[in-house]
Amino acid sequence: MSGADFSVAILIGGDSSRMGTPKATFEIEGLSMAARVASAARESGASEILFVGGQKTLTKGLEGKWVKDLYPGEGPLGGIITALKSAENDWVVVLSCDMPFITGAVVSSLVSALADAQATVGRTDSLNWLCAAWSKSECLTTLQSVWKREERAVRRAAVLLDVAEVPVPAVAVRNINSPADLIDNGDETTI
């Protein structure tokens, strides 16, 4: 790793319709999902933690700065653009709050690979665009340009960038969209 300071932005917007309660505050083993992701960010050495979108009240008791989503209700690409505009560092890791099993090691691997690319994305059997790192100076203008052309899919916006795929464990990017998602092949995670 280059030793560059980096920010981690955690997307906490979204309607959480399948969860029935805001995902950011949904607790797993006594810790909210947003707090679990923020813990991985701290473990990775992030110099700044941002919470993007949703209501500021969702971040009560969390260490980090809340940022109003510039494009609420328009999907995660708007959240990524908001994160890049708001971050104090050039390198910005953007994570979804509904990946409570993300680790500091995964975040660090995304940052390390960014030295040789404009953006990095976590890869399991597919690309996980809400587990990705971006160079603000190299990506923001392109993402904003695509946004102005009404593109809202992160994967389609990213085709214009030099993106490095970073292998990550599937469990690290496992999305928890409903309480039922915590039941995996008969093994129930304590909630």
Distance of alpha carbon 78 from alpha carbon 58, whole angstroms: 19
Tens of each residue's pLDDT in the chain, 191 residues: 345 799 999 999 876 666 767 889 999 999 999 999 999 999 999 999 999 999 999 999 999 999 999 999 899 999 999 999 999 999 999 999 999 999 999 999 999 999 999 999 999 999 999 999 999 999 999 999 999 999 999 999 999 999 999 999 999 999 988 888 877 544 444 44
Secondary structure (3-state) at 190: coil
| Longest Cα–Cα distance in the chain | 46
Distance of alpha carbon 86 from alpha carbon 169, whole angstroms: 29
Q: pTM for this one?
A: 0.93
CATH 3.90.1150.10 fits 6-181, yes or no: no
Q: Which residue has the tokens 């389609």?
A: 156
- On the CB side of 59, CA atoms within 13 Å amount to 21
- In DSSP terms, which residues pair with 164 in a beta bridge? 120
